[in-house]
Chain A
Amino acid sequence: MTDSGPSAGRMQIPPAELASLSGIERRALLYARWLNASPLHRFFHWINTQFHRRWIQWVATSRRLHTVGLERLVETPTERGVLIAANHRSFFDQFIIACSIYQVTRRWPRFYFPVRSDFFYDHPLGAFLNTIVTSATMFPPIFRARAKRGVSRSGLDFLADELRSPDTLVGIHPEGTRGKGSDPYELLPAEPGFGKVVLQARPIVIPVFIRGLSNSFSREIKCNISGIEPIIIVFGEPVDLSAFDGEDPRLLRNQVKAGRRVLEEIGKLTEQEKQARTQL
């Protein structure tokens, strides 16, 4: 696999940025990029949404998942891509959110959720799991190291490009990392990179609040068998970003403001989640 020649749906990575990665990181990234841009993508998308979704839901969430406002998402306008902006407490948040979406609609043939590169892009087992379980939809990778930031930036530019298409659904955690405090309703500050994607692409941003998942898949299975520990996902109305019309997406301050705006809307959903929880 070489990095040459542009094509639709293919992340552009300048050679100098690619050279900043280790051998395994480079291979994992190029492979994931190839998989996402290849004609096989449609087949793998079907595997994800019709096969993996079903067994994940059957073993882990079928007896305990409750959604609020999912119909709002299905009814959103179709002129551009949709960005699901969700709070982050569990490794499985975006998996379960995506499963609930694709259970009711097949509207978006392209789905990405960017992940930290640790494990999925710097370990053979991680790269293998990314392929087998998600068909490399955990893409693009976000690298922590300063020297590799160019690759992360290329990834965010790729997402912004893809989100201009109504065929694309992207799941991002604006906080960039899992909240580990004792309060599940506390939100961390949004990463500027998230704000940059929002301002560059101006997608339809749907705020989502999810609560109820842990970081142990075996625990999720046990809870589902017992029908305990409900998982609640609240989908909000599209975020009004008109205040950012004409604002320069390259300015850090604007990126921070956009991120805060979206987090504010996610925060408002906690009341609906608490209400739904008391009614169970």
Chain B
Amino acid sequence: MENQEVFDKVVEILKPFAKNEEALSSISHETSLQKDLEVNSARLVDIVLEIEDNFDIEVSDDDADQVGTVGDAVKLIVAATS
């Protein structure tokens, strides 16, 4: 799967969880899920589970811990699907 395709899908997954609309509109690989998008820390697990379902992958807790930015999520997905 192409990086851009993965990125677009990840953005769609993040939309319902992001509280900061402004950060969402200018989202990039460097955008932080908690600091910029203001995703509630309790919802990070839900995001990872959505990613698993959407991309048909399994994520370990160690790998989930590494996801701090949108780019981290994309990297995780690309690694798991290649």
- Considering the complex, give the chain A residue whose CB is closest to the CB of B59: A252
Residues in chain B near residue A251, CB distance under 8 A: 58-61
A192 to B62, CA, bound (A): 11
A146 to B65, CA, bound (A): 8
A250 to B60, CA, bound (A): 5
Does A196 count as interface, using CB distance less than 8 angstroms? yes
Chain A 171-188 near chain B by CB (<8 Å), digits 1 or 0: 000000000000000001
Chain B 41-77 near chain A by CB (<8 Å), digits 1 or 0: 0100100110010000011111011001000000000
Let me know if B61 and A252 touch, CB within 8 A.
yes
Interface majority SS (helix, strand, loop, mixed), chain A: helix
Partner of A149, one of B49, B58, B59, B65: B65
Supply 7 further A-B pairs (C-beta < 8 A) apart from A193-B61, A250-B60.
A153-B65, A192-B61, A250-B62, A251-B58, A251-B61, A252-B48, A252-B52
Most chain A beta-carbon neighbours within 10 Å: one of B58, B59, B61, B65: B61
A149 to B42, CA, bound (A): 15
Partner of B61, one of A146, A189, A250: A250
A207 to B31, CA, bound (A): 40
Does A256 count as interface, using CB distance less than 8 angstroms? yes
A253 to B59, CA, bound (A): 8
Most chain B beta-carbon neighbours within 10 Å: one of A250, A253, A255: A253
A29 → B minimal CB distance (Å): 20
